[in-house]
Chain A
């Protein structure tokens, strides 16, 4: 698979939220404002990128040669958690003036089905290390894009008159459903068209 194909597939065609349905949790339905979405989106993109290459290394150099692939779930979960802690520690040490928002922890935000899901997808595919890295990055970008779109839709719907029983979570899910149908425009035929094959 070419680099462009990997990026388009993981960011749009098989989007983590709208196609694979990973990370559909209170975070996506009840997120705060756009600023918070940007913070979480960037954190998730970095986390997914580093976790994906980590998962590839663990699977290819430790689990598969030793025949321990059945340990994928607990090991990858703690890999994502560890990467989250390390990135947060690194950010507070390296970036001057960096202070995570109150209640924001990269490890806690990162422990969701989207980050663990993409790590498992990468480890169970036959991708190389570089391809895993790009796939993780593209998934993070796709996650960021959809999260931002959901926030924008939510902010717009807040000022609209909506029946009381639809307000909040039900309307967010229905919006996400319609967005998922819209994203179906990014399909294999689209991929073939932009790649010219």
Chain B
């Protein structure tokens, strides 16, 4: 199996959130600030890659004497994936609470919910069907980065238009917040609300689908000329 997330320019058109409809809760809920979106992206990426790695390793360990991978039943596979993602999420949450409490405060209730994120679960289950462990992990990395790009893009749109600021990490004398001239005093506050997140993701998915259709039409036109 080729790593799905790497082939075919999938960063844009096979993005987990906008095209495959996965992991939408954090994509909408924590994208009111860019910094929270970055933390959530990193959290999802780490859990996704580690769970894919463990699931792929477990699948390899089930190789029979004849060299065939013994397929686990779907129920057992899902249970295994849940156990691994829940343990990883809980462990990372404890570490973040101890060392970077502001990250957990920003993500709120959505941090532990990564354990049942369908992007993470499907990535972990897909890794068991990968030809090699490296392929499974590469697929998870690509999915995670695609998801992160989508999250940061939505957060950028929502924070810039909805609050007139861009919140990043404070470094030295830089307080971490950049005020956008012209928007910071009169932002479109509705975009920062829950409905704004749903609208942003909906329009982003529509824009990407429109681009994809145009690209497909252009390629079909070229093929017709040749």
Contacts of B197 in A (CB 8 A): 21, 177
A25 touches B193 (CB 8 A): no
The answer to whether B115 has its CB under 8 Å from any CB of chain A is: yes
- State which of A30, A74, A78, A165 has its C-beta within 8 Å of the C-beta of B209: A165
Report the minimal beta-carbon distance from B183 to chain A, rounded to whole angstroms: 21
Contacts of A26 in B (CB 8 A): 21-22, 118
Q: Mark A118-139, 1 if CB is under 8 A from B, else 0.
A: 0011001000000000000000
Interface of A is mostly: helix
Contacts of A81 in B (CB 8 A): 79, 82
A170 touches B206 (CB 8 A): yes
The answer to whether B57 has its CB under 8 Å from any CB of chain A is: no
Cα(A178)–Cα(B197), bound, Å: 11
Cα(A84)–Cα(B15), bound, Å: 31
Cα(A127)–Cα(B93), bound, Å: 24
A174 touches B25 (CB 8 A): no
A164 touches B199 (CB 8 A): no
Find the residue from A18, A25, A73, A74 having the highest chain B CB count within 10 A.
A73
Q: Which residue numbers of B lie inside 8 Å of A, CB to CB?
A: 21-22, 24-25, 28-29, 78-79, 82-83, 86-87, 89-90, 93-94, 97, 109-110, 112-113, 115-118, 190, 193-199, 201-203, 205-207, 209-210, 213
Which 4 pairs across A and B sit closest by C-beta, in order of nearness?
Answer: A173-B202, A177-B198, A180-B195, A177-B199
Could you list 7 A-B pairs, sorted by A, with CB under 8 Å? A26-B118, A73-B93, A74-B87, A116-B112, A116-B115, A171-B202, A177-B196
Q: Which residue numbers of A lie inside 8 Å of B, CB to CB?
A: 18-26, 29-30, 70-74, 77-78, 81, 108, 111-113, 116-117, 120-121, 124, 164-166, 169-174, 176-181, 184
